[in-house]
Amino acid sequence: MAETYTSNLHIEKASSSRLQDVNFKDLAFGVTFTDHMFMCDFVDGQWQQPKIVPYGPMPMEPSARVFHYGQAVFEGMKAYKDEQGDVFLFRPEENFKRINKSCARLAMPEFPEDYFFEGLNTLLNLDKDWIQSGVGNSLYVRPFAIATEPIISAAPSETYRFMIICSPVSPYYKGKVKVVIAEHFSRSADGGVGFAKAAGNYAAQFYPTKLAQQKGFQQVIWTDSSTHSYLEEAGTMNVFFRINDTLITAPTSDRILDGVTRKSVIQLAKDNNINVEVRPIKVQEIVDAANNGSLKEIFGSGTAAVISEISAFEYQDKIYELDDLGTTGYAAKMKKEMLHIQHNLAEDKHNWRYPVK
Ligand code: COI
Protein backbone atom coordinates (compact mmCIF):
# COMPACT_ATOMS: atom_id res chain seq x y z
CA MET A 1 0.00 0.00 0.00
CA ALA A 2 1.27 3.43 -0.80
CA GLU A 3 2.72 5.66 1.88
CA THR A 4 0.34 8.19 3.42
CA TYR A 5 0.98 11.84 2.73
CA THR A 6 -0.91 14.80 4.08
CA SER A 7 -2.07 16.54 1.00
CA ASN A 8 -2.06 20.24 0.35
CA LEU A 9 -3.81 20.26 -2.98
CA HIS A 10 -3.20 23.43 -4.92
CA ILE A 11 -5.97 24.48 -7.31
CA GLU A 12 -5.60 26.81 -10.26
CA LYS A 13 -8.96 27.24 -11.95
CA ALA A 14 -9.41 27.70 -15.70
CA SER A 15 -10.27 31.31 -16.53
CA SER A 16 -13.19 30.19 -18.73
CA SER A 17 -14.87 26.90 -19.53
CA ARG A 18 -14.83 25.14 -22.92
CA LEU A 19 -18.01 23.28 -22.01
CA GLN A 20 -20.32 25.31 -24.27
CA ASP A 21 -18.30 24.18 -27.35
CA VAL A 22 -19.04 20.48 -26.74
CA ASN A 23 -21.68 18.61 -28.70
CA PHE A 24 -22.62 15.86 -26.24
CA LYS A 25 -24.79 14.19 -28.91
CA ASP A 26 -21.77 13.50 -31.07
CA LEU A 27 -18.85 12.47 -28.90
CA ALA A 28 -16.04 10.31 -30.23
CA PHE A 29 -14.31 8.33 -27.47
CA GLY A 30 -11.44 10.14 -25.75
CA VAL A 31 -11.24 13.19 -28.00
CA THR A 32 -12.68 15.93 -25.78
CA PHE A 33 -11.20 16.82 -22.38
CA THR A 34 -12.63 18.74 -19.44
CA ASP A 35 -11.38 22.10 -18.17
CA HIS A 36 -8.97 20.80 -15.52
CA MET A 37 -6.37 18.12 -14.88
CA PHE A 38 -4.66 16.77 -11.80
CA MET A 39 -0.88 16.39 -11.58
CA CYS A 40 1.72 15.51 -9.03
CA ASP A 41 5.47 15.14 -9.53
CA PHE A 42 7.79 12.65 -7.88
CA VAL A 43 11.15 14.33 -7.22
CA ASP A 44 13.94 13.60 -4.74
CA GLY A 45 12.31 10.32 -3.75
CA GLN A 46 8.99 11.97 -2.75
CA TRP A 47 5.64 12.92 -4.20
CA GLN A 48 5.50 16.71 -4.22
CA GLN A 49 2.52 19.02 -3.74
CA PRO A 50 -0.38 17.82 -5.91
CA LYS A 51 -2.05 20.37 -8.19
CA ILE A 52 -5.16 20.84 -10.26
CA VAL A 53 -4.53 23.15 -13.19
CA PRO A 54 -6.32 24.06 -16.44
CA TYR A 55 -6.16 21.19 -18.96
CA GLY A 56 -3.55 21.86 -21.60
CA PRO A 57 -0.16 21.02 -23.10
CA MET A 58 2.79 20.65 -20.76
CA PRO A 59 6.48 21.14 -21.50
CA MET A 60 8.65 18.02 -21.34
CA GLU A 61 12.22 17.23 -22.24
CA PRO A 62 12.50 15.10 -25.41
CA SER A 63 14.89 12.93 -23.41
CA ALA A 64 12.22 12.08 -20.79
CA ARG A 65 12.52 8.35 -20.23
CA VAL A 66 8.84 7.71 -21.00
CA PHE A 67 9.46 8.55 -24.66
CA HIS A 68 12.31 6.07 -24.97
CA TYR A 69 11.46 3.13 -22.74
CA GLY A 70 7.70 3.37 -22.31
CA GLN A 71 7.82 3.55 -18.53
CA ALA A 72 4.15 4.48 -18.30
CA VAL A 73 1.02 3.01 -16.72
CA PHE A 74 -2.62 4.07 -16.74
CA GLU A 75 -6.12 3.32 -15.51
CA GLY A 76 -9.62 3.74 -16.88
CA MET A 77 -12.58 4.64 -14.68
CA LYS A 78 -15.94 6.28 -15.28
CA ALA A 79 -17.97 8.87 -13.39
CA TYR A 80 -21.78 8.87 -13.72
CA LYS A 81 -24.41 11.44 -12.81
CA ASP A 82 -27.87 10.44 -11.61
CA GLU A 83 -31.10 12.36 -12.24
CA GLN A 84 -30.63 14.28 -8.96
CA GLY A 85 -27.22 15.52 -10.13
CA ASP A 86 -25.19 13.36 -7.74
CA VAL A 87 -21.94 11.97 -9.14
CA PHE A 88 -20.67 8.42 -8.62
CA LEU A 89 -17.63 6.39 -9.51
CA PHE A 90 -17.69 2.60 -9.85
CA ARG A 91 -15.30 0.69 -7.55
CA PRO A 92 -12.48 3.28 -7.80
CA GLU A 93 -10.55 1.58 -4.98
CA GLU A 94 -9.94 -1.29 -7.43
CA ASN A 95 -8.41 1.06 -9.98
CA PHE A 96 -6.29 2.69 -7.31
CA LYS A 97 -4.92 -0.69 -6.16
CA ARG A 98 -4.31 -1.77 -9.74
CA ILE A 99 -2.39 1.33 -10.83
CA ASN A 100 -0.05 0.80 -7.91
CA LYS A 101 0.42 -2.86 -8.90
CA SER A 102 1.19 -1.68 -12.42
CA CYS A 103 3.63 0.92 -11.02
CA ALA A 104 5.42 -1.73 -8.97
CA ARG A 105 5.87 -3.96 -12.04
CA LEU A 106 7.26 -1.09 -14.10
CA ALA A 107 9.68 -0.06 -11.29
CA MET A 108 7.71 3.13 -10.66
CA PRO A 109 6.86 4.55 -7.22
CA GLU A 110 3.40 3.84 -5.83
CA PHE A 111 1.04 6.81 -5.59
CA PRO A 112 -0.39 7.75 -2.15
CA GLU A 113 -4.04 6.82 -1.61
CA ASP A 114 -5.07 10.10 0.01
CA TYR A 115 -3.53 12.16 -2.82
CA PHE A 116 -5.36 9.99 -5.34
CA PHE A 117 -8.81 10.25 -3.78
CA GLU A 118 -8.55 13.91 -2.81
CA GLY A 119 -7.38 14.77 -6.33
CA LEU A 120 -10.08 12.66 -7.94
CA ASN A 121 -12.94 14.04 -5.82
CA THR A 122 -11.80 17.65 -6.23
CA LEU A 123 -11.28 17.30 -9.98
CA LEU A 124 -14.70 15.70 -10.48
CA ASN A 125 -16.34 18.39 -8.39
CA LEU A 126 -14.69 21.13 -10.41
CA ASP A 127 -15.64 19.53 -13.74
CA LYS A 128 -18.97 17.94 -12.80
CA ASP A 129 -20.93 20.02 -15.30
CA TRP A 130 -19.16 17.96 -17.97
CA ILE A 131 -20.99 14.83 -16.82
CA GLN A 132 -24.32 14.23 -18.50
CA SER A 133 -26.97 12.23 -16.67
CA GLY A 134 -28.73 9.34 -18.41
CA VAL A 135 -27.74 5.75 -19.06
CA GLY A 136 -25.03 5.59 -21.72
CA ASN A 137 -23.45 8.93 -20.74
CA SER A 138 -20.36 9.09 -18.56
CA LEU A 139 -17.12 10.88 -17.93
CA TYR A 140 -14.12 8.66 -18.65
CA VAL A 141 -11.45 9.28 -16.04
CA ARG A 142 -7.88 8.49 -17.03
CA PRO A 143 -5.27 8.39 -14.25
CA PHE A 144 -1.75 7.74 -15.55
CA ALA A 145 1.87 7.97 -14.53
CA ILE A 146 4.94 8.62 -16.67
CA ALA A 147 8.71 8.65 -16.26
CA THR A 148 9.93 12.24 -16.67
CA GLU A 149 13.65 12.09 -15.98
CA PRO A 150 15.56 13.58 -18.95
CA ILE A 151 18.17 10.82 -19.28
CA ILE A 152 18.21 8.22 -22.04
CA SER A 153 20.21 5.47 -20.41
CA ALA A 154 18.03 2.37 -20.10
CA ALA A 155 17.18 2.50 -16.40
CA PRO A 156 14.16 3.41 -14.29
CA SER A 157 13.53 7.11 -13.95
CA GLU A 158 14.27 9.00 -10.75
CA THR A 159 11.37 11.40 -11.46
CA TYR A 160 7.74 10.79 -12.43
CA ARG A 161 4.47 12.62 -13.03
CA PHE A 162 1.10 11.23 -11.93
CA MET A 163 -1.90 12.78 -13.67
CA ILE A 164 -5.66 12.48 -14.02
CA ILE A 165 -7.47 13.78 -17.09
CA CYS A 166 -11.19 13.41 -17.87
CA SER A 167 -13.13 12.99 -21.09
CA PRO A 168 -16.91 12.94 -21.63
CA VAL A 169 -17.74 9.81 -23.60
CA SER A 170 -20.43 7.76 -25.23
CA PRO A 171 -20.07 3.96 -25.72
CA TYR A 172 -16.62 2.79 -26.92
CA TYR A 173 -17.89 0.35 -29.53
CA LYS A 174 -20.83 1.54 -31.58
CA GLY A 175 -22.69 -1.68 -32.20
CA LYS A 176 -21.45 -5.24 -32.10
CA VAL A 177 -17.84 -6.27 -32.35
CA LYS A 178 -16.24 -8.84 -34.66
CA VAL A 179 -12.97 -10.39 -33.54
CA VAL A 180 -10.08 -12.41 -34.90
CA ILE A 181 -8.61 -15.13 -32.67
CA ALA A 182 -4.83 -14.69 -32.54
CA GLU A 183 -2.84 -17.51 -34.12
CA HIS A 184 0.56 -15.88 -34.41
CA PHE A 185 0.94 -12.60 -32.51
CA SER A 186 0.89 -12.40 -28.71
CA ARG A 187 -0.13 -9.68 -26.29
CA SER A 188 1.67 -11.00 -23.23
CA ALA A 189 3.66 -13.90 -21.88
CA ASP A 190 4.32 -15.63 -18.56
CA GLY A 191 6.43 -13.43 -16.34
CA GLY A 192 5.63 -10.39 -18.46
CA VAL A 193 3.46 -7.32 -17.89
CA GLY A 194 0.13 -8.53 -19.30
CA PHE A 195 -1.64 -8.14 -15.93
CA ALA A 196 -0.52 -4.51 -15.65
CA LYS A 197 -2.06 -1.55 -17.42
CA ALA A 198 1.28 -0.74 -18.95
CA ALA A 199 1.06 1.63 -21.92
CA GLY A 200 3.27 -0.69 -23.98
CA ASN A 201 0.75 -3.54 -23.71
CA TYR A 202 -1.56 -1.46 -25.87
CA ALA A 203 1.08 -0.30 -28.35
CA ALA A 204 2.05 -3.95 -28.93
CA GLN A 205 -1.52 -4.74 -29.99
CA PHE A 206 -1.91 -1.97 -32.53
CA TYR A 207 -0.22 -3.69 -35.47
CA PRO A 208 -2.04 -7.06 -35.23
CA THR A 209 -5.29 -5.19 -34.52
CA LYS A 210 -4.71 -3.06 -37.62
CA LEU A 211 -4.34 -6.24 -39.68
CA ALA A 212 -7.62 -7.51 -38.20
CA GLN A 213 -9.32 -4.19 -38.98
CA GLN A 214 -8.17 -4.36 -42.58
CA LYS A 215 -10.15 -7.62 -42.83
CA GLY A 216 -13.28 -5.99 -41.33
CA PHE A 217 -12.84 -6.99 -37.66
CA GLN A 218 -12.53 -4.57 -34.74
CA GLN A 219 -10.45 -6.50 -32.22
CA VAL A 220 -8.21 -9.50 -31.62
CA ILE A 221 -8.86 -12.11 -28.94
CA TRP A 222 -5.42 -12.97 -27.67
CA THR A 223 -4.40 -16.54 -27.01
CA ASP A 224 -1.62 -17.90 -24.80
CA SER A 225 1.76 -17.05 -26.27
CA SER A 226 3.25 -20.55 -26.11
CA THR A 227 0.58 -22.66 -27.83
CA HIS A 228 -2.04 -20.17 -29.13
CA SER A 229 -4.63 -22.72 -28.10
CA TYR A 230 -6.16 -21.00 -25.02
CA LEU A 231 -8.35 -17.89 -25.17
CA GLU A 232 -7.23 -15.02 -22.94
CA GLU A 233 -8.48 -11.44 -23.37
CA ALA A 234 -9.29 -8.93 -26.07
CA GLY A 235 -6.91 -6.15 -25.06
CA THR A 236 -9.52 -3.48 -24.43
CA MET A 237 -11.81 -6.04 -22.76
CA ASN A 238 -11.85 -9.32 -20.84
CA VAL A 239 -13.91 -11.96 -22.65
CA PHE A 240 -16.85 -14.18 -21.65
CA PHE A 241 -18.18 -17.18 -23.57
CA ARG A 242 -21.64 -18.63 -23.01
CA ILE A 243 -21.96 -22.31 -23.83
CA ASN A 244 -25.57 -23.42 -23.32
CA ASP A 245 -26.36 -21.67 -20.03
CA THR A 246 -22.85 -21.56 -18.57
CA LEU A 247 -20.72 -18.45 -18.66
CA ILE A 248 -16.99 -19.12 -18.99
CA THR A 249 -14.07 -16.73 -18.67
CA ALA A 250 -10.33 -17.27 -18.41
CA PRO A 251 -8.71 -17.01 -14.97
CA THR A 252 -6.56 -13.93 -14.39
CA SER A 253 -2.83 -14.55 -14.44
CA ASP A 254 0.28 -12.54 -15.05
CA ARG A 255 -0.80 -12.47 -18.70
CA ILE A 256 -4.37 -11.23 -18.22
CA LEU A 257 -5.73 -7.95 -16.82
CA ASP A 258 -7.74 -8.33 -13.63
CA GLY A 259 -10.66 -6.31 -15.01
CA VAL A 260 -12.97 -4.46 -12.62
CA THR A 261 -15.90 -4.97 -14.98
CA ARG A 262 -14.87 -8.63 -15.40
CA LYS A 263 -15.08 -9.34 -11.68
CA SER A 264 -18.34 -7.40 -11.43
CA VAL A 265 -19.86 -9.48 -14.27
CA ILE A 266 -18.83 -12.69 -12.50
CA GLN A 267 -20.55 -11.45 -9.32
CA LEU A 268 -23.70 -10.30 -11.15
CA ALA A 269 -23.92 -13.63 -12.94
CA LYS A 270 -23.72 -15.45 -9.61
CA ASP A 271 -26.38 -13.10 -8.18
CA ASN A 272 -28.58 -14.17 -11.11
CA ASN A 273 -27.93 -17.87 -10.44
CA ILE A 274 -26.06 -18.17 -13.73
CA ASN A 275 -23.47 -20.92 -13.65
CA VAL A 276 -20.02 -19.28 -14.03
CA GLU A 277 -16.82 -21.16 -14.73
CA VAL A 278 -13.49 -19.37 -14.37
CA ARG A 279 -11.08 -21.73 -16.11
CA PRO A 280 -8.76 -22.06 -19.09
CA ILE A 281 -10.79 -22.16 -22.34
CA LYS A 282 -9.44 -23.92 -25.41
CA VAL A 283 -10.05 -22.26 -28.75
CA GLN A 284 -11.13 -25.69 -29.99
CA GLU A 285 -13.85 -25.86 -27.34
CA ILE A 286 -15.37 -22.63 -28.65
CA VAL A 287 -15.04 -23.72 -32.28
CA ASP A 288 -16.73 -27.05 -31.45
CA ALA A 289 -19.48 -25.23 -29.53
CA ALA A 290 -20.00 -22.86 -32.48
CA ASN A 291 -20.26 -25.86 -34.81
CA ASN A 292 -22.70 -27.81 -32.65
CA GLY A 293 -24.87 -24.81 -31.77
CA SER A 294 -24.12 -24.72 -28.05
CA LEU A 295 -22.14 -21.45 -28.28
CA LYS A 296 -24.83 -18.90 -27.51
CA GLU A 297 -22.88 -15.71 -26.85
CA ILE A 298 -19.47 -14.09 -26.62
CA PHE A 299 -19.07 -10.71 -25.02
CA GLY A 300 -16.30 -8.45 -23.79
CA SER A 301 -16.23 -6.50 -20.53
CA GLY A 302 -14.24 -3.39 -19.70
CA THR A 303 -14.58 0.13 -18.34
CA ALA A 304 -14.58 1.78 -21.74
CA ALA A 305 -16.41 -1.04 -23.51
CA VAL A 306 -18.85 -1.74 -20.60
CA ILE A 307 -20.26 -4.98 -22.02
CA SER A 308 -19.89 -5.37 -25.75
CA GLU A 309 -21.48 -8.22 -27.63
CA ILE A 310 -19.28 -10.07 -30.11
CA SER A 311 -21.23 -11.02 -33.21
CA ALA A 312 -18.60 -13.10 -35.02
CA PHE A 313 -15.09 -14.49 -34.72
CA GLU A 314 -12.54 -15.61 -37.25
CA TYR A 315 -10.27 -18.57 -36.63
CA GLN A 316 -8.09 -20.40 -39.16
CA ASP A 317 -9.62 -18.36 -41.99
CA LYS A 318 -13.16 -19.41 -41.12
CA ILE A 319 -15.76 -16.97 -39.82
CA TYR A 320 -18.20 -18.11 -37.14
CA GLU A 321 -21.32 -15.95 -36.74
CA LEU A 322 -23.35 -15.79 -33.54
CA ASP A 323 -27.12 -15.34 -33.34
CA ASP A 324 -28.39 -11.99 -32.18
CA LEU A 325 -30.14 -12.69 -28.88
CA GLY A 326 -31.22 -9.06 -28.47
CA THR A 327 -32.41 -8.21 -24.99
CA THR A 328 -32.73 -11.89 -24.00
CA GLY A 329 -28.98 -12.60 -23.93
CA TYR A 330 -26.79 -12.70 -20.85
CA ALA A 331 -24.74 -9.81 -22.28
CA ALA A 332 -27.80 -7.56 -22.51
CA LYS A 333 -28.93 -8.55 -19.02
CA MET A 334 -25.52 -8.00 -17.43
CA LYS A 335 -25.08 -4.69 -19.26
CA LYS A 336 -28.44 -3.37 -18.10
CA GLU A 337 -27.83 -4.40 -14.49
CA MET A 338 -24.33 -2.95 -14.49
CA LEU A 339 -25.42 0.38 -16.00
CA HIS A 340 -28.33 0.66 -13.58
CA ILE A 341 -26.03 0.16 -10.61
CA GLN A 342 -23.51 2.64 -12.02
CA HIS A 343 -26.19 5.29 -12.66
CA ASN A 344 -27.81 4.90 -9.22
CA LEU A 345 -30.95 3.38 -10.72
CA ALA A 346 -30.71 0.03 -8.93
CA GLU A 347 -29.86 -1.35 -5.53
CA ASP A 348 -26.11 -1.57 -4.96
CA LYS A 349 -25.88 -4.61 -2.75
CA HIS A 350 -22.10 -5.02 -3.12
CA ASN A 351 -21.31 -1.38 -2.33
CA TRP A 352 -19.71 -0.75 -5.71
CA ARG A 353 -20.97 2.81 -6.09
CA TYR A 354 -18.65 5.50 -4.72
CA PRO A 355 -20.36 8.86 -4.17
CA VAL A 356 -18.06 11.67 -5.23
CA LYS A 357 -17.58 13.88 -2.20
C1 COI B 1 -10.58 0.81 -20.35
O2 COI B 1 -11.58 0.12 -20.46
O3 COI B 1 -10.51 1.73 -19.53
C4 COI B 1 -9.42 0.53 -21.17
O5 COI B 1 -8.36 0.44 -20.68
C6 COI B 1 -9.60 0.51 -22.61
C7 COI B 1 -8.89 1.68 -23.21
C8 COI B 1 -7.56 1.26 -23.70
C9 COI B 1 -9.69 2.39 -24.21
pLDDT digits (tens, 9 = 90+) for 68-116: 999 999 999 999 999 999 999 999 999 999 999 999 999 999 999 999 9
Enumerate long-range contacts of 349-355, CB under 8 Å, 24 or more apart. 349/271, 350/264, 350/267, 352/90, 352/91, 352/264, 353/88, 353/89, 353/90, 354/88, 354/89, 354/90, 354/91, 354/92, 354/93, 355/86, 355/87, 355/88
pLDDT at 173 over 80: no
Determine the average pLDDT of the residues in 303-311: 95
Q: For ligand 1, is residue 76 a contact (CB within 6 Å)?
A: yes
Q: Is 299 exposed, middle or buried (0-12, 13-18, 19+ CB in 10 A)?
A: buried
Q: Which atom of ligand 1 is nearest to the CA of 140?
A: 3
Whose Cα sits closest to atom 7 in ligand 1? 236
Q: Which atom of ligand 1 is nearest to the CA of 76?
A: 3
pLDDT given at position 7: 62
What is the number of residues in the chain?
357
What percentage of the chain carries pLDDT values higher than 90?
94
Distance from the CA of 153 to the center of ligand 1, in angstroms? 30
Among residues 137, 164, 199, the alpha carbon closest in space to that of 55 is found at 164
pLDDT given at position 235: 79
Torsion of CA 145, 6, 89, 241, to 10 degrees: 50
Name the band, by pLDDT with cuts 50, 70 and 90, for residue 3: very low
Distance from the CA of 76 to the center of ligand 1, in angstroms? 6
Q: For ligand 1, is residue 304 a contact (CB within 6 Å)?
A: yes
Distance from the CA of 236 to the center of ligand 1, in angstroms? 5
Determine the average pLDDT of the residues in 26-35: 95
pLDDT at 6 over 60: no
pLDDT digits 0-9 by tens, 245-266: 999 999 999 999 999 999 999 9
Whose Cα sits closest to atom 3 in ligand 1? 76
- pTM for this entry: 0.95
Distance from the CA of 292 to the center of ligand 1, in angstroms? 34
Name the band, by pLDDT with cuts 50, 70 and 90, for residue 172: confident
Distance from the CA of 15 to the center of ligand 1, in angstroms? 31
Pocket probe for ligand 1: among 195, 303, 307, 342, the residue whose CB has the most ligand atoms within 8 Å is 303
Q: What angle do CA 206, 209, 215 make, to 5 degrees?
A: 145
Q: For ligand 1, is residue 205 a contact (CB within 6 Å)?
A: no
pLDDT at 279 over 50: yes
Encode burial over 216-234: b for 16+ CB neighbours within 10 A, e otherwise.
Answer: ebbbbbbbbbeebebbbbb
* Interatomic CA distance for residues 208 and 235, integer angstroms: 11
List the beta bridge partners of residue 147.
160
Indicate the angle between helix axes 330-342 and 260-271, nearest 10 degrees.
Answer: 110
Name the band, by pLDDT with cuts 50, 70 and 90, for residue 292: very high
Which segments within the chain are labelled E, that is strand? 10-11, 36-43, 46-47, 51-54, 72-74, 77-81, 87-90, 138-147, 160-169, 177-181, 219-221, 230-231, 238-243, 246-249, 275-278, 281-282, 295-302, 306-315, 318-321, 353-355
pLDDT digits 0-9 by tens, 44-54: 999 999 999 99
Q: Is 141 helix (H, G, I), strand (E, B) or coil?
A: strand
pLDDT at 2 over 80: no
Name the helix (H) or strand (E) containing 76: none
Q: For ligand 1, is residue 235 a contact (CB within 6 Å)?
A: no
Q: How far apart are the first and last CA of the chain?
A: 23
* Interatomic CA distance for residues 184 and 225, integer angstroms: 8
pLDDT digits 0-9 by tens, 176-229: 799 999 999 999 999 999 999 999 999 999 999 999 999 999 999 999 999 999
Distance from the CA of 262 to the center of ligand 1, in angstroms? 13
Pocket probe for ligand 1: among 98, 236, 260, the residue whose CB has the most ligand atoms within 8 Å is 236
Q: Is 93 exposed, middle or buried (0-12, 13-18, 19+ CB in 10 A)?
A: middle
* Interatomic CA distance for residues 29 and 41, integer angstroms: 28
pLDDT given at position 205: 97
Q: Which atom of ligand 1 is nearest to the CA of 172?
A: 9
Determine the average pLDDT of the residues in 121-140: 96
What is the number of H-type helices and E-type strands within the chain?
7, 20
What's the distance, CA 322 to chain centroid?
Answer: 25
